[in-house]
Structure 1
Amino acid sequence: MRHFPAQYDLQPDDTLYFCHIPKTAGMTFRTILEDYFACEEICPATLSNQIADYTPEQLREYRLFRGHLGFVNIPGLLAGKNLIKVTVLREPVSRVISHYEYIRRTPDDPYYESVSQMSLEEFATGEGPGRIGKNVQVYHIARLLQYDIGSLEPEEALSLAQKSLNLCAFAGILERFQESLFLLSYIFGWKPIVNSRRENVAKSKTPLSEIPPEALARIREAMSLDRALYDDGCEIFQQRFDEMQQDLVQRYGDRLALDAPPPGQVLEFATLQQLLEWHSQDRYQAQNPPPSEVSVYNFCQPLRGLGWQRRDCDQNRPNAAHRWTGPVTMSTLDLPIAPTPTDYRVEFQVTQVWATAPEVLDSLKCLVNGHPSELAIAYSSDTTRLYQAQIPADWLPPDRLFAELTLQVDRVAPINHKNPDPKDKRLVGVALSYLQLFPAAREAEFSLLRSLLQDALTTATIDFMRDRLKPQEQIAAPPQFRLPFSGQVEGYADFLRSPGRYHWLVLHKGMALPVEALLFQLARCGFRPVFANEVYVVFVRRRPDVPSLSYFTPDVRHLYVGRYLNSLRQKVASLKRS
């Protein structure tokens, strides 16, 4: 890190390589790195033997390599590319204990059979690669510069590793993990990373106090090379961290009446996060074109937000991905926007509905720049649900670079609630695949509801109404009908409150609606059915020129008979239980 710029903007031709040292929070760290790259930019290989599945030409197209790739010469495979190297170091004795315990509790690990027969001391002092024993941090870092180090003497390997460490863009310290993530954010200009994930973390760890002093002394002696590298890394880290704080306070400290802290002192968490937020916004503006009045985000794109689980990419569909909220109950997403002085609409698609705990889904709330919005379900199925909310113009002030969307649930639940994979222990809320923010007047141009207008039954219903609808008449209908009949459509909730305002009602048979209450209002206000098909029934009032349908017409009858029979069955079942 000593020989890498204090701040660096990743270029399109750069390739970021995470040198993953075992048991240094690498699983968590790699998912954090993935957040800042698009799906197609990430090499799918996470194990050394998987690299062979890709041609050299394919490998050179990727911008992020991460995972256990230490037994492949990644720098050699990408010769000529600008390789930006990052890593995380850990106190060596704690690391070797963690590695030992991990292997012993993982029967499918290739070293399980042999290590399960060893004591901790035997494992830590045994043979390793080359001449450096189990000093795997020196081993992996040195090989970034020279892949074959088998002939090097231990001190030569350490010297090479120290030189390599100085060339890394970033070397985090596990014992200062959150501070490491703040420094990483500063270097690359990313939104300040606040970690909430715990990937592949052991439930319990053996404390050093339980290891016999003689054995602990021998383990420390065996780890002396790694200790020297770790100490060097800690010194570099502290220097870079102090320089970061000094720079941030110099740039933005006057906004908080803040003085620079002395070397070695860390600013309060919330203060440092706020300074880094301002810094990231300035870096974003310098690296990106000005935003437009519409913001569209799919979860294949890099993430700018907090409180999300790792992304789930669909390898068979390059532009398809979703991301669960969690493990916290509040998740944020920053959308770059240059709003026009008009009302907006936010629209997002929740997927994996079948795997979501129903009470979690029902508790979903959405805030825009801190303002609670009134969510409406525009479409729902067993797999997908589309939500919309109206955003008043004054919620989107023109001096803000981003609109902050906050998604909140009452609680999170295990993802394997209906997921057969026992290894996936994530706690999640809801899964999103798409989100957008656009002027309400441009709904017909951008809304995902457009896809619901393409089937023949919906088209037939719209055509029937378009030929008969008068300009002043109001319609109560599903949200997708707002697109062809702009300014004339409201939802069912308002119809139940004020049915006299409406001339037309379009009922969707598949929606969960209070049909009994609706039918009562229809009869009371003089509505009559005039059109029906397998999906919709259209009612109208005060239009004698539009011929009526009988309530016994099959497509009208299905609207209420099926619901009546189902209600009757429920009442009979309730009587039997009592």
Structure 2
Amino acid sequence: MSLFFVHIPKTAGTSFRQGAEKYFSSERIVYDYGANSKVTSPLAKEFLHADQPDFWQFRQALDNPAMISGHVPITRFVSLWGAGNTLTFLREPLQRIASEYAHFVRNMDYKGSFKEFYSDPAMRNRQRRALNGVNVEAIGFIGLTERYSESLEVLNDRFSTQIPEREDNRGKARLEDQHKLDKEDVAELKRLNKRDIELYQYASALFDSRYTMFKSNQPWAHACLVEANAEGVSGWAWWADEQDAPLEVELWVNDELTSTVRAAELRQELCHLLPPRGGYVGFHVPLKLSPLDTVQCRIAATGQRFPLSPRRIDETAA
């Protein structure tokens, strides 16, 4: 099994990467940090940064790497290593931007103001853009910088690793220390990074749920309610450890159990993410629902709820 680490800048990624080097050895990690980076592995430069990139030949040329890592979007390698083997860390967006600005000033001789930095379109919603194209619920593991120790607990359990905790490449005394921001900057940062803020809030709630399950020795399921309308509901679900057994999913309408269905239908749109069971992880329940009905699913074996809060049927769906 090879892991794919989406290294979003200033999210404790360097700490994680160097912990992984200590655990796996740097020789078993392949890096793609751009054509001009000294860190980028020779095979990545040869196959990915040539005039005609060949991702499949890159994959074939590798000798059983433990991890692929880089400042790359998730779509770069997810179809080669699968969403289940993909991991990343997210950080409170405003603090992440402040930390990246400090990094640019300190290490890259950046001369612009903080406002000039965060107003650059390339610096907005960096976390959301890194994960575009893949449903958050399908990603193998999403940790939180602010809860780094707990994140490593869950990550090491999920992937059967023992990656140690480190704090590297930090501009403050500790990872959890806060950058002080002016009120005017805060207001503008929130406006410019709305998608990152929504992502972080959702990922934090998802992590809370997963960590609670982990502490209760309950398996985690990647699960999503894709559609809920006046004609029924559909979605997908599979065990995080990718065991072959299909999940039984309970459908709750207005807090009442209405039916149980097996997640064993083909979800073709997921196949490029290499889900377990060849993509036969979906479910569909035809059901007459009324406007303002609430819908939520649960994993029958564990009680895990998805979505995290009940979804209300849109009045326009009737």
TM range (shorter): 0.5 to 0.7
Quote the residue 1:120 is aligned against: 114
Which AA in structure 2 matches 1:89? L
Superposed counterparts of 1:144-543, under 5 Å: 145=133, 163=135, 165-191=136-162, 195=165, 197-203=166-172, 207-208=178-179, 210-247=180-217
Note the aligned Cα RMSD (angstroms).
2.8
Quote the residue 1:385 is aligned against: none
Show CA shifts across 1:419-462 (max 9, x none): xxxxxxxxxxxxxxxxxxxxxxxxxxxxxxxxxxxxxxxxxxxx
- Alignment partner of 1:31 is 2:31: no
SS state of the match for residue 24, structure 2? coil
- Alignment partner of 1:58 is 2:61: yes
Which AA in structure 1 matches 2:129? Y
Contact kept, 8 Å, 2:74 with 2:131, in 1: the verdict is no
**Which structure 2 residue ranges, 5 or more long, are not aligned?**
48-56, 219-318
Compared with structure 1, are the counterparts of its residues 82 and 72 closer, same or farther at alpha carbon in structure 2 (3 Å cutoff)?
A: closer
Compared with structure 1, are the counterparts of its residues 105 and 242 closer, same or farther at alpha carbon in structure 2 (3 Å cutoff)?
A: same
Count of residues paired in the alignment:
199
Compared with structure 1, are the counterparts of its residues 30 and 135 closer, same or farther at alpha carbon in structure 2 (3 Å cutoff)?
A: same
Which AA in structure 2 matches 1:200? N
Which AA in structure 1 matches 2:7? H
Show CA shifts across 1:26-79 (max 9, x none): 111112233443555322x34222322355232474341013344992335x3x
CA distance in 1, matches of 2:173, 2:105: 13
Show CA shifts across 1:254-292 (max 9, x none): xxxxxxxxxxxxxxxxxxxxxxxxxxxxxxxxxxxxxxx
Tell me the TM-score normalised to structure 2 length: 0.56
Quote the residue 2:247 is aligned against: none
**For 1:48, which of 4, 14, 34 is the aligned residue?**
34
Percent same amino acid at aligned positions?
A: 27
Contact kept, 8 Å, 2:89 with 2:145, in 1: the verdict is yes
Show CA shifts across 1:488-526 (max 9, x none): xxxxxxxxxxxxxxxxxxxxxxxxxxxxxxxxxxxxxxx
Which AA in structure 2 matches 1:136? R
Tell me the TM-score normalised to structure 1 length: 0.32
Superposed counterparts of 1:82-121, under 5 Å: 82=82, 84-106=85-107, 109=108, 112=109, 115-117=110-112, 119-121=113-115
Higher relative contact order (CA 8 A, sep 6+): 2
SS state of the match for residue 70, structure 2? coil
Contact kept, 8 Å, 2:94 with 2:189, in 1: the verdict is yes
Contact kept, 8 Å, 1:21 with 1:88, in 2: the verdict is yes
Contact kept, 8 Å, 1:20 with 1:88, in 2: the verdict is yes
Contact kept, 8 Å, 2:28 with 2:65, in 1: the verdict is yes
Deviation at 1:188, TM superposition (A): 2.1
CA distance in 1, matches of 2:161, 2:181: 41
